[in-house]
Chains A and B, each alone.
Chain A
Amino acid sequence: NAGVTQTPKFQVLKTGQSMTLQCAQDMNHEYMSWYRQDPGMGLRLIHYSVGAGITDQGEVPNGYNVSRSTTEDFPLRLLSAAPSQTSVYFCASSRTSTGVADTEAFFGQGTRLTVV
């Protein structure tokens, strides 16, 4: 049982480049989400999903896209990387109760992204 698998672990991008952060879970969790972690700012929600085909924006969605074509996968796309997107990104998944993320969230290992 792998849990939440997130790739890559490290990435350096040039301003304007695009890329996709991959996230996969094998626990059949309905709820999946992406957070960015910056010093002193905690974990800020970027986008989240409660099932295949259902996504919504979080606190800081600008510059990011997501899709949920399967229960297992929830990729995060950076459309045109900017230095302000330099951060550590975490994917997380959990079961839900009536569409609310009210159970333990399992996190991926994180991606340290630097945009130069």
Chain B
Amino acid sequence: GENVEQHPSTLSVQEGDSAVIKCTYSDSASNYFPWYKQELGKRPQLIIDIRSNVGEKKDQRIAVTLNKTAKHFSLHITETQPEDSAVYFCAASTKGSTLGRLYFGRGTQLTVWP
């Protein structure tokens, strides 16, 4: 099955700096790569996603890049703010032996210091 690895597990940045979180996946058939943000005590929520036919996608201060050849994708947050502090999860969607599945990385705890 799919294996999604996420680095780093923790990341601390100063307010206004950029943050980058990287993920790798193992299944070349994976074709959908979402990123979720989970604030303390709350449910994960989608912040951005990218499909395998696109190399980069931006939404205001966040962007995601995908390198299909190397099987890795990254989340970029610019001009970080304290409210960006949360756990971020990457995920990859692949069709298993019979049905499609969504696999998550282990998460990155991002802390933005004012």
Contact = CB atoms under 8 A, between A and B. Distances in A.
Interface stretch (B59-67, B68-76, B104-112): B104-112
Interface string B90-114: 0101111011111111110000000
Nearest to A41: B106
Contact of B100 (A41, A96, A108): A96
B93 A108 contact: no
Contacts of B95: 99-100
Interface of A: 31, 33, 35, 40-45, 48, 50, 54, 56, 58-59, 90, 94, 96, 98-105, 107-110
12 contacts: A33-B102, A42-B6, A43-B44, A43-B89, A56-B98, A100-B32, A101-B100, A104-B46, A105-B46, A105-B102, A107-B43, A107-B45
B49 A50 contact: no
Contacts of A110: 43
Nearest to B87: A42
Per CB-CB distance, the 8 closest pairs between chain A and chain B, nearest first, are: A100-B100, A102-B32, A42-B106, A107-B43, A43-B104, A101-B102, A104-B46, A42-B104
Give the interface centre of B91, B99, B106 by most chain A CB atoms within 10 Å.
B99
Nearest to A96: B100
Given A56-B96, A110-B43, A101 B101 contact: yes
B90 to A, nearest CB: 9
